[in-house]
Amino acid sequence: MKIFTPLSLVCLLSVPALSYADQNNTVVKDPYASIYDNVIQHNANNAVQYCADLQTSLESKSSDVRHQAFVQLAEGWGRVQASYILGDYDMNAMDYPLMIDYFHSGNEDIHESIERLIGRDSKPSTALYKNSYKTMGAIDSVMFSGEWSERRKEFAEVMVANVCKRFTQISEGYKANRDAFLFDVDKGLSLVVNAEIEHIYKTRDWRIAQVSGLTKANLGETKPEHQQYPYSEASWAFIGGILETNKQLLGEDQQPNVATIAYEKHGKEGIHAVQVALASSLEAYKNTPVDHNFNLNDMIPIFQGLLDVQKAFYRHLVSQIGVSANLIDADGD
């Protein structure tokens, strides 16, 4: 498995309420605007670029170039999904995540279906008639589960074009709905925090516990083949993207962000509890052996860290900042 190094975050000052420069050098003072511009919009824009990079890489003869491009996109997609709120402002955008990634949806074996289609004579544009056949999981399968060929390249081109289209729609959608987010910042904050909680839970349960054997249903049964991207092994990069977005939104040195708002609302105790748990999760992630393959013992520290993050949100932060949190299996039962 290749070592994955997360991309550097945008450099932000650490003092609340001072001016921050976003990617367009526009001065941003308000923490809500900073959250939207420097995290949500910024990550969406990066995903568009990473997807374009993946498209370009399909022409490369180097398997490393293609692999690195996919891993980069997986990490970027994790960052986008960790704070995805566009569907609450645009009904058409509610299904964009499912059109990008079919992970943990439906019962069809996408890999098996893709392999069957590759073996036929149909044109890729005709063969890939289902949305699920043109998602990140399908790209993982076609690019990395077998020997690279012109046929696989043609299939990948159709799949990647579909995913890139969705990332562009997300980026443009956020641009169109910035004013709506800032018009009702309480609603916006609630959406962001609930998105964080939801994807912390799904990362802990779907992407770690169910793969490494840490649920009651599969205790001790490690199944790395059930990870999100089993053929490229980019699943770990996606998890890193989830964690890094939470760092952007909550980190003391990433302000103005949710931490800034928490201090303004006298939620110092709550934000500190979440920050401590998140720091432990990030440390566990970075210290996990490169060749972990979702081994149960290697996953316990990050599993526990994410559980602590989720509990800290519910028990300390949400009430202090006036957010009504959606109830999601906070105790891991």
Give the bridge partners for 293, in sequence order: none
What is the reported pLDDT for 227? 96
Region 92-106: mean pLDDT is 95
Whether residue 10 is contained in a domain is answered as no
Mean pLDDT of all residues in 19-45: 75
SS (H, E, C) 46-67: HHHHHHHHHHHHCCCCCHHHHH
85 with 195: CB under 8 angstroms? Answer: yes
Mean pLDDT (the chain, rounded): 91
Q: Is residue 192 in a domain? A: yes
Query: Is pLDDT at 78 greater than 70 in this prediction?
Result: yes
Task: State the CATH number of the domain containing residue 307.
Answer: 1.20.1420.20
Query: Is 12 part of any domain?
Result: no
Is residue 331 in some structural domain? no
Give the structural domain span for 60: 20-320
235 found inside a domain: yes
Q: Residue 237 pLDDT > 90, yes or no?
A: yes
Residue 330 lies in a domain: no
What's the whole-number mean pLDDT along residues 323-329? 79
Residue 106's pLDDT band (cuts 50, 70, 90): confident
306 assigned to some structural domain: yes
Residue 29 binned pLDDT confidence (cut-offs 50, 70, 90): low
The yes-or-no verdict on residue 266 having pLDDT over 90 is: yes
Count: domains in the chain: 1
pLDDT digits (tens, 9 = 90+) for 142-197: 999 999 999 999 999 999 999 999 999 999 999 999 999 999 999 999 999 999 99
Can you tell me whether residue 27 is helix, strand or coil?
A: strand
How many Cα atoms within 13 Å fall on the side-chain side of residue 243?
25
User: What is the radius of gyration, based on Cα positions, of the chain?
Assistant: 20
Contacts for 103 with CB less than 8 Å, ≥ 6 apart = 136, 137, 206, 228
Q: Which percentage of the chain shows pLDDT scores above 70?
A: 89
What are the pLDDT digits (tens) for 201-211? Answer: 999 999 999 99
Q: What's the pTM value of the predicted model, to 2 decimals?
A: 0.90
Q: How confident is the model at residue 329 (pLDDT cuts 50, 70, 90)?
A: low
Interval 182-226: pLDDT, tens: 999 999 999 999 999 999 999 999 999 999 999 999 999 999 999
Contact at 8 Å (CB) between 54 and 149? no
CA distance 256 to 86: 21
Domain for residue 8, yes or no? Answer: no
**pLDDT band at 125; cut points 50, 70, 90:** very high
| Residue 167: CB atoms within 10 Å | 24
